[in-house]
Amino acid sequence: MNKFLLSVHVLAAIIAIGPVTVAASMFPPYVRKAVADPDDQRTAAALGLLHRICRGYAAVGIVVPVFGVATAIGLGVLTDAWLVVSMVLTAGAAALLLGRVLPVQARLLAPRGDTALQESRRLGMTVGVFNLLWAVVVVLMIVRPGSTTGV
């Protein structure tokens, strides 16, 4: 059963988190392009698509921690430090996505002027932190410092 849970956890992480990190990273440059050429309908459509990808995969992404916790319980590692840190970082990434990235993207779907440019730069930095949190979680999942379950 643990192998099934871990497989779903890893597949969900790849399928759900990967597209969010890529789409969220692409959004700020498209905002800058939209500000430079407000009449470009393709850029406006791309912004809408990137935002929908982030929103949709964020909803699907709930599967990742659910199956991760189930796997941890099955393996008896739920209280291991590396896993607790991973869960805290995952919660932080989710909070950034839901509390900052998605709302700012929604506001920037029709960007205008210097304010949009400044906000897109801040969004880019926020997305960078979001992506870094996921990178650290992946490393912790692989290295599992202090784990007694073997490598």
136 in any annotated domain:
yes
- The Cα–Cα gap between 4 and 118 comes to 45
Tell the burial category of 57 from Cβ atoms under 10 Å away from its Cβ (0-12, 13-18, 19+): buried
Q: What is the residue-level pLDDT of the chain in tens, covering all 151 positions?
A: 989 999 999 999 999 999 999 999 999 999 999 999 999 999 999 999 999 999 999 999 999 999 999 999 999 999 999 999 999 999 999 999 999 999 999 999 988 888 999 999 999 999 999 999 999 999 999 888 876 665 5
59 in any annotated domain:
yes
Total domains present in the chain: 1
DSSP-based three-state secondary structure for 51: helix
125 in any annotated domain:
yes
**Domain coverage including residue 17:** 2-143
Its pTM stands at 0.90
150 in any annotated domain:
no
Question: Max Cα separation, the chain?
Answer: 58
